[in-house]
Structure 1
């Protein structure tokens, strides 16, 4: 019996998901994804569109920079029935190589007769050739978009698909949301416990306050991800490090010197440890 598979362009999911939620595209750093919820929704959709076929797996395509997968990508890679496929991010933060990975996988699975149905969450016309070839092998393609989908998906791709569907704002909001804004030193209250670290900068109190405020906005699964990261790595995870230094720089109104960067990272790590592992 042929199975079904799901192919997810994460760049499209985040970009168009933020449009559905807020009316405009938001940077990935401003968004929060509940991985288990979206995977469950995709699994159910695959079952419905394939008339109850067994799910082979969900393929999740994303870009990574030279420092490797983010904590979020690492969590996705460890979910049951999910295969993470990574292209790369260029200097402008744009995904490269993702569409070719989707095309290669969907054609190969179709050629081998491994699947009979494919749910595709994407909008890029570059994947259309993969859709066409997979259909020639007998695979039915179910294209999924996020509202307003017609403005975010290639017309030619929509025409090629066997069926089309759209996730609305209400459904998207179950797994995607905006991160809460980080408070600054001007609005920090007594809720944050003082963090004591050895510092070498005259602006150490400001740096500690910014780092503590940032940690206060992290959710349980993010804190858990940092503790998992520390099992094999040291320091602040890359996806938080740049944001931390940028916020400290903005608060001080100048670039940080080397020892201040060290103080910021120590403060962040101390604040995470103070909260404990969820």
Structure 2
């Protein structure tokens, strides 16, 4: 008598995918405050945390298969006594609040240790197959490595940086996937505690205006009137009011980064990039981040600036190896 065929699901059951979202609130708030308002301290803005958590849950559901186990919300409070806001968050479904200590200087203590402990426990007990880590501290690299050793996939989320990078490079390297939460995604849930008057806000120069060396008030003065336009001074005014980074400055930054890499990474590593002028995506991103750190502003809204940056970089590399820029030999 033959053995009856079993349904495919019974013959080869597959492990159910389940994930947790671990959020370093200190990192999330600080990075969002900087990119949205240029704010340095949490008291400068307010956060609609319950709605923010809901959006992050929805974002995770759209990116990861399986079911959400829960959200871990790592924050800090003086003497670990939860604030009113933290009590509200703790009452949300599928959210667990973990509190570190907030010292007199406003510094968080013990938060990273709690993240490492929870990530290790989740992985060791097989509670999740995937873990989302919204954080930026290099101290979490060891926890990521340990969880991966148990077979857990680590999905690192970061907040769009104002410029450069706001996450440790090694943490980015070790993650299985990396995603950046845009400022537009977070903006509806953050607001300034004391909004600036309209007039004051309008006279604060943007990074583009800083590059151009003009404040809004200065551009108003420079704007030609009808008689000035009629007298032929329009072209001079247009060139002065053009926004964006200065080409020679960006090219110099590109050369500076190339020189630094030659000294720190060695000529042999830089020679591997030849003949150019194309750069591997990872190296091109590193070049952009280094340049933005030097400038203190983002180059991402200016595609032409990235071209100038590469030109400066390759100019220095070609000089180093005595290569004719046109022929590549």
TM-score, normalised via structure 1 length: 0.62
Where 2:145 maps in the other structure, the secondary structure is helix
Q: 1:21 aligned to 2:36?
A: yes
Q: How many Å apart are 1:97 and its aligned residue?
A: 0.3
Counterpart in the other structure of 2:262: none
Paired residues of 1:2 and 1:113 also in contact (CA < 8 A): no
Where 2:29 maps in the other structure, the secondary structure is helix
Using the alignment, how far apart are the partners of 1:135 and 1:154 within structure 2? Answer: 18
Out of 107, 122, 127, the residue aligned to residue 114 of structure 1 is 127
Q: 1:74 aligned to 2:93?
A: no
Counterpart in the other structure of 1:164: 178
Matches within 5 A, 1:187-198: none
| Residues 156-211 of structure 1, C-alpha deviations (whole Å, 9 max, x = no match) | 0000011111112211102122123599xxxxxxxxxxxxxxxxxxxxxxxxxxxx
Counterpart in the other structure of 2:97: 84
Q: 1:108 to 1:22 in 2, by over 3 A?
A: same
Using the alignment, how far apart are the partners of 2:130 and 2:61 within structure 1? Answer: 10
Paired residues of 2:159 and 2:181 also in contact (CA < 8 A): yes
Matches within 5 A, 1:251-270: none
Counterpart in the other structure of 2:166: 152
Using the alignment, how far apart are the partners of 1:168 and 1:182 within structure 2? Answer: 23
Paired residues of 2:119 and 2:143 also in contact (CA < 8 A): yes
Paired residues of 1:2 and 1:114 also in contact (CA < 8 A): no
TM-score, normalised via structure 2 length: 0.53
Using the alignment, how far apart are the partners of 2:172 and 2:71 within structure 1? Answer: 21
Q: 1:134 aligned to 2:147?
A: yes
Runs (4 or more) in structure 1 with deviation over 4 Å come to: none
Higher relative contact order at CA 8 Å, sep ≥6: structure 1 or structure 2? 1
Q: 1:173 to 1:182 in 2, by over 3 A?
A: closer
Paired residues of 2:80 and 2:101 also in contact (CA < 8 A): no
Q: 1:46 aligned to 2:60?
A: yes
Cα RMSD for the two superposed structures: 1.8
Q: Unmatched 5+ residue regions in structure 2?
A: 1-15, 198-329
Q: Unmatched 5+ residue regions in structure 1?
A: 184-278
Q: How many Å apart are 1:30 and its aligned residue?
A: 2.0
| Residues 196-253 of structure 1, C-alpha deviations (whole Å, 9 max, x = no match) | xxxxxxxxxxxxxxxxxxxxxxxxxxxxxxxxxxxxxxxxxxxxxxxxxxxxxxxxxx
Q: How many Å apart are 1:2 and its aligned residue?
A: 3.6
Q: 1:96 aligned to 2:109?
A: yes
Using the alignment, how far apart are the partners of 1:113 and 1:28 within structure 2? Answer: 36
Using the alignment, how far apart are the partners of 1:36 and 1:70 within structure 2? Answer: 14
Paired residues of 1:61 and 1:98 also in contact (CA < 8 A): yes
